[in-house]
Structure 1
Amino acid sequence: MAKQKMIIDCDTGVDDAQAIMMALSRPEVDVIAITCVNGNVDIENVCRNTLRVLKVCDALHIPVFRGCTRPIIHHEEDASHYHGLDGMGDLPNPPEVDLSCIQEEHAVNALIRLTKKYEGEIKVVAMAPLTNFGVALRMDPDFSRRLQSLVIMGGNIQGKGNRSASIASEFNFGTDPEAAYVVIHEMACEITIVSWEVCLSATYPWEKAHECFNLHTPKSNFLQAITKTTIEKQKARGEPGYRSCDTTAMAVALDSSIILESVKMFTVVELNGSNTRGMLVADWRNKLCKPPNVTIVEKTDTKKSLTLWRGMVLE
C-alpha cells in the first residue's frame, strides 16, 4: 500500500515537536517536507528546533525549508512566554544541529513545486500561522487545487481566545489574520479545522501523560526535557490533564476515526474587530446561506490518540 505523502508546516515549539515526532513514528506516512514559518518563536529558532527533532528521530534526511519571517501585515507576535525563549522550553544542553542543512529553496516555492510533482497526493498539516499558505495562494492561485487535503490547528469558534493582544482570537489565526482569511476563503481543497476549543477538551490524564514521558527511551527523554516547563504552567493553571494542541491536530490527520463529532460549516475570518481580529466566525444558523467551506472538529477520542502518543516514544 502506498504511503500517505505529508507536508508539515510548523513554527516549532513544544507541541509542534511532539506532533512531528508523532507523524514520523507512523510507518504508513511519508513526510516529504517540513516547512517553517515565524510564529511561536523567530524563524531561525523554528528551523533550529525542527532540525533538533529530526536529529532525535534519526530523520535528518527529510528536507526542511525556511519560510516567511513575519506575518503578511500584522506586527510580529510570539509565544516565547509559553514555549520558552528558544521555543523548546529553554532546553538545557539541546542537540547540536547545523543550520546549513536547511534547504536554500524558500518554503513557499517548495510548497508550490511539490504540489505540482505530487498532484492530489499530499496531505498538509498546518500547525502555525498560515503565512506560507497565504503567500502560496497569491503566487499560484491553483496551488490548493493540487492538494489532497489540509488539516489546520487554529481558529476558535466560541470566542475563547489565547492571545494577550486579543481577547477572542486563537494564536495561529490571530498572529496572521490576513493569511488565515485567504486560506479559509480561497483554499479549494478539503479543510479540517482543529480549533483551540476542541484542543482545550482533548486532554490526557496526568498519570497517562507522565507514563509516556517516563519510558526512558531517547525520544521520551527528549520529550520530557522539552515539556517540563509547559507541564508546570498547565498544572499551575489547574488543568485536568496534559494538553497538546498540535498533536491533537496531527492525530486527527493520521487517523480520521479519532474524530468523534464534527460539523461542516461556512466560516469567515474577522479582520476588523478590535477585540475579535483573527477570530474564526462560524455561521451556525446558516444566516449567509453559503455552502460549507470547512469541517470543524468538535470532539476527539483521546484514548485512541493517546495510543499514537505512546507509539511515538517507544524507541
Structure 2
Amino acid sequence: MAKIKLIIDTDPGIDDAMAILAAFNSPEVEIIGLTTIFGNVRTPMATQNAFVLLNLAQQMQVPVAEGSCDQLNGLTKTRVADFVHGAEGFGNTYQQLVEGKKHSLTAAQFIANAASEHPGEVVVLALGPVTNIALAYKVDPQLRTRLKEVVILGGAFQSNGNVNPAAEANILGDPDAADYVMEQGNNVRLVSLDVTHQVEFTSKDMDALHGRGRFGSFISDISKFYIEYYRKSYGVDSCFVHDPTAFAAVFRPDLFTWQAGKVLVLTEGVARGMTIMDHCVRNWAAPHAWSDRPLVQVAVAVQADKVAPMLLERLAM
C-alpha cells in the first residue's frame, strides 16, 4: 500500500512534538512538509521548533514552510498557550536551536503546490488554527478537489471547550478561518475534544519513555510541564493526547466512529469559536445557515484502549 503523503500544519507545542515524532516512526506515512502557524507559540517560534524536531528525527531534508502570523481577518494573533506548553513550546526545557532554511513558499502556497503536484494523494493534518489551510483554499480554488483529505484537531461538540465553556483552542485561534474551511468540501474530518479527552498518557507512561528509542527522553522531559498543567487544571496525573490522537485518525480512522454533519463556527459574540453541527437527521421547515454547507466527518467516539498504547509504542521506537 502506498504511503500517505502528509503535510503537518503545526504550532509545536508539546503534543505537536509527540504527533510529529510519532509520524516519523510510522511506516504508513511520508511526511512531505511541515507548515507552521501560531497557537501554542507564535509563528516564528513554531518554525524554530519545527527545525528542532526535524533535527531530532534526522529528517532535516523535510521542507518547513512558514505560515501566517495573522488571523484570516488580518488581526495579528498575540495570545499563545505558554501556560500549557512553556514559554518556548517545549515545557521550558529550552532546547538548543537548530539552524534551518525556511522554504521559499509560504505555508499556504506550499500546501496548494503539493496538492497540485500530487492530486488526490496529499493529506493535511492541521494541529493548530487552520489559517494556513484557509489561505491555501484562497490561493487555489481547485484545492478542495486536489487534496485527498484535511484532518483537523479542533472543536468541541458534546463537551465544553478548553479555553472557555464554548470554544476549543485551535478553533478559537482563528474562528473565521475555521468557519471558511468548513465550507470547502466533503474531504474534511474533525477530531475534537469529545474524543481527545478520552485518550491519555499518565505521568508513569511519560517517565517510562525516558531512555527509550530515538525520542523517548525528549518526550519524557518536555512532558513534565504539560502534565503539571493538567494536574493543576483537571486534577489528573496525566495529560490528554490531543495532537497524537488526531494523527492516529490519519492512518487508523477505523479506530474512530465518525458521523457526517454540517458544521458552522461562531465568529463573534460570547461563544466565538463554538462549533455547532447539524446532524442532518431531519428535514428543516426553512433554509438556515447550515443548509448549503457540505458534509464533514466528525469523530464522535474513539477506541482509546487501542490508540493510546499504539501511540506510546511509536514514541518509544
From 208, 216, 221, the equivalent of 1:220 is: 216
User: Which segments of structure 1 move beyond 6 Å, counting only runs of 4 or more?
Assistant: none
Q: Among 74, 80, 83, which residue is 2:82 paired with?
A: 80
| Shift of residue 129, structure 1, vs aligned partner | 0.4
1:248 aligned residue (245, 249, 255): 245
**TM-aligned CA deviation for residue 240 of structure 1:** 6.0
Find the residue that maps to 1:239 and give its secondary structure.
coil
Q: CA offsets per residue over residues 195-236 of structure 1, 9 Å max, x none?
A: 12221122245444443x234444111101111101111123
**What pairs with 1:263-278 in structure 2 (closer than 5 Å)?**
263-272=259-268, 274-278=269-273
SS in 2 for 1:112: helix
Calculate percent identity across the aligned residue pairs. 27
Are the equivalent residues in 1 in contact too, given 2:186–2:294 (CA < 8 A)?
A: no
Paired letter, 1:227 = S
Equivalent in the alignment of 1:31: 31
- Alpha-carbon shift at residue 191 of structure 1 (Å): 1.3
Q: How far apart are residue 154 of structure 1 and its match?
A: 0.5
Q: What corresponds to 1:282 in structure 2?
A: 277
1:226 partner letter = I
Deviation at 1:314, TM superposition (A): 3.0
Which residue in the other structure is 1:304 paired with?
A: 306
Deviation at residue 144 of structure 1 after TM alignment = 1.8
CA distance in 1, matches of 2:235, 2:22: 26
Q: Partners in 2 of 1:296 and 1:200 — Cα distance?
A: 15
The residue correspondences of 1:7-156 to structure 2 (distance < 5 A) are 7-73=7-73, 74=75, 76=77, 77-92=79-94, 94-99=95-100, 101-156=101-156
CA contact 2:37–2:129 (8 Å) conserved in 1 = yes
Q: Distance in 1 between matches of 2:216 and 2:159?
A: 35
- Which is further off, 293-302 or 57-66? 293-302
- C-alpha distance in 2 between matches for 1:115 and 1:217: 33
Conserved 8 A contact 1:65-1:106:
yes
Identify unmatched segments of 5+ residues in structure 1. none
Q: Could you tell me how far apart the structure 1 residues matched to 2:261 and 2:206 are?
A: 33
1:170 aligns with 2:168: yes
TM-score (norm 1): 0.91
- Give the Cα separation in 2 of the matches to 1:308 and 1:145: 32
The superposition leaves residues 129-185 of structure 1 with CA deviations (integer Å, 9 ceiling, x where unpaired) of 01011111122211121011111100111361222xx54111111111110011001
Q: Secondary structure of the residue that 1:266 maps to in structure 2?
A: strand
Which moves more between the two structures, 55-64 or 288-297?
A: 288-297
5+ residue gaps, structure 2, are none
Cα distance in 1 for residues equivalent to 2:32 and 2:105: 15
Counterpart residue number, 1:313: 315
Q: Which amino acid aligns with 2:106?
A: H
Amino acid at match of 2:262: F
- For 2:153, the aligned partner's letter is M
2:230 is matched with 234
2:198 maps to which of 193, 198, 201: 201
Q: Distance in 1 between matches of 2:35 and 2:61?
A: 14
RMSD: 2.0
Q: In structure 1, what residue type is equivalent to 2:68? A: C
Task: Find the aligned partners of 1:205 and 1:70 in 2 and give their Cα distance.
Answer: 35
Counterpart contact for 1:23–1:254, Cα < 8 Å: no
Judging changes above 3 Å, is the alpha-carbon distance between structure 1 residues 136 and 254 closer, same or farther for their aligned structure 2 residues?
Answer: same
- Give the aligned partner of residue 185 of structure 1: 183
